[in-house]
Every structure is written in C-alpha cells, then in structure tokens.
Amino acid sequence: MTLSVSFADHFHEGLSAFSYVSSFTAKCLHISHLTEYTQLFNRDSIMLSNICVDVK
C-alpha cells in the first residue's frame, strides 16, 4: 500500500500540516510504511521544503 501525503511548506506548532490526497502535488512523499515516519509527523515544528520526492 502506498500513500500520497501532501505537505505544507512548514509545520506550525500544534498543527498537523499534512493531509492525504488522491492526486500528487509538487510536494509529496511516497510512504510505504507510515509507522516509519511517526517521529517526523509528531514533531511540533519542522521545515519540509526540502522533503520533495519525484513521483514515478
């Protein structure tokens, strides 16, 4: 199972600035195992501008 997750440029404290999307966007991350990214998602503030994966 592969999920497409669309990110805002930044996480803001206390805000989960990501959502599942049915179509790909410029900033997307292919996730094969969501649990592997739990620590990333739980961080209060993080820049995600550099996290961009080419969609194949």
52 within domain boundaries: no
Q: Rounded mean pLDDT of 25-43? A: 47
Confidence class for position 1, pLDDT limits 50, 70, 90? very low
Q: Rounded mean pLDDT of 34-51? A: 45
Confidence class for position 21, pLDDT limits 50, 70, 90? very low
Domain count, the chain: 1
In this structure, the number of other CB atoms found within 10 A of the CB of residue 48 comes to 16
47 within domain boundaries: no
35 within domain boundaries: yes
Confidence class for position 56, pLDDT limits 50, 70, 90? very low
pLDDT of the residue at 23:
39
41, pLDDT greater than 50: yes
48 within domain boundaries: no
Domain span holding position 13: 3-42
12 within domain boundaries: yes
21 within domain boundaries: yes
11 within domain boundaries: yes
- Cα–Cα distance measured from residue 4 to residue 7, given in angstroms and rounded to the nearest whole number: 10
